[in-house]
Amino acid sequence: MKAADLKGIKTGTLRVTIVTTAKYFIPRLLGPFCRLYPGVDVELEVVNRDQAIERLAANRDDLYIMGVPPDTLPTERHPFLENPLVVIAPHDHPLAGCRRIELRRLAEEAFIAREPGSGTRIAAEKFLASHRIKPRNRMQLGNNEAVKWTVAAGLGVAVISRHALMLEPMHDRLAVLDVQGFPIRRSWYVVYPAGKRLSVVAQTFFDYLKREAFTIQEELAAPPLRRAQKKPR
């Protein structure tokens, strides 16, 4: 691969580790990338944030995609795409369709939380704590799909990435609530160890992400799920 790098040939293996929520868009960027560079083989790991940080510390991959880069390791980090977090509820929740719901109203709801260490959970807890709101967690679940099904079943509300609502087969079971202060604005980062010299293949994918992320960004601009009926407050 080093010889190929020296010649600038885009061939070899690209090793990328992504955190679970990035699975909703990275494969859709990898598809066209692989068609453009058929000589590149991809090894994609989808893990939770703690495992991604372990792999980063051990320098096991070329690039890492995550929402909360670690403060404990020297890294290069580049934001390349928005990662807005929204509040979801079952479609028949009394607040579905209400406008500008006060944030403190969320303290009355049961929350379905992600597992400790999830970037979504860290960001949601930080945001709610900064507004002195202590969520009442009814349940914690290790992935977004389980969170969505549990919310759809009427067991509570949840904070979730807009990306997790793309290609959503449950559009008629969930509603996005219009809560003041939401969406929480965050970014996705490409991360790699500070000082690491990227291979030509890794650098090519990094440049591709920066150039093509707008295609996913455009999807985020569309209304999430179906539009709920607006009710007067």
* 42-71: contacts with ligand PGA (CB under 6 A): 48-49, 66-68
> Which residue among 120, 147, 176, 183 contacts ligand PGA (CB under 6 A)?
120
In the complex, the smallest distance separating the C-beta of residue 86 from ligand PGA, rounded to whole angstroms, is 12
In the complex, the smallest distance separating the C-beta of residue 49 from ligand PGA, rounded to whole angstroms, is 4
40-47 β-sheet, strand order: 40-47, 12-19, 63-66, 187-193, 75-82
Task: List CB contacts of 167: < 8 A, sequence separation 6 or more.
Answer: 24
Helical packing angle, 26-36 and 200-212, nearest 10°: 120
In the complex, the smallest distance separating the C-beta of residue 10 from ligand PGA, rounded to whole angstroms, is 29
Q: What angle do CA 23, 27, 31 make, to 5 degrees?
A: 175
75 binds ligand PGA (CB under 6 A): no
In the complex, the smallest distance separating the C-beta of residue 67 from ligand PGA, rounded to whole angstroms, is 2
> Which residue among 161, 199, 209, 225 contacts ligand PGA (CB under 6 A)?
161
φ, ψ for residue 133 (rounded to 5)? -110, 125
17 binds ligand PGA (CB under 6 A): no
Number of residues that bind ligand PGA (CB under 6 A): 14
Task: List CB contacts of 2: < 8 A, sequence separation 6 or more.
Answer: none
Residue nearest to ligand PGA (CB): 119
In the complex, the smallest distance separating the C-beta of residue 173 from ligand PGA, rounded to whole angstroms, is 21
C-alpha torsion sign, points 220, 224, 230, 232: negative
Residue 161 forms beta bridges with which residues?
85
141 binds ligand PGA (CB under 6 A): no
In the complex, the residues that contact ligand PGA under the rule CB under 6 A are: 19-21, 48-49, 66-68, 83, 114, 118-120, 161
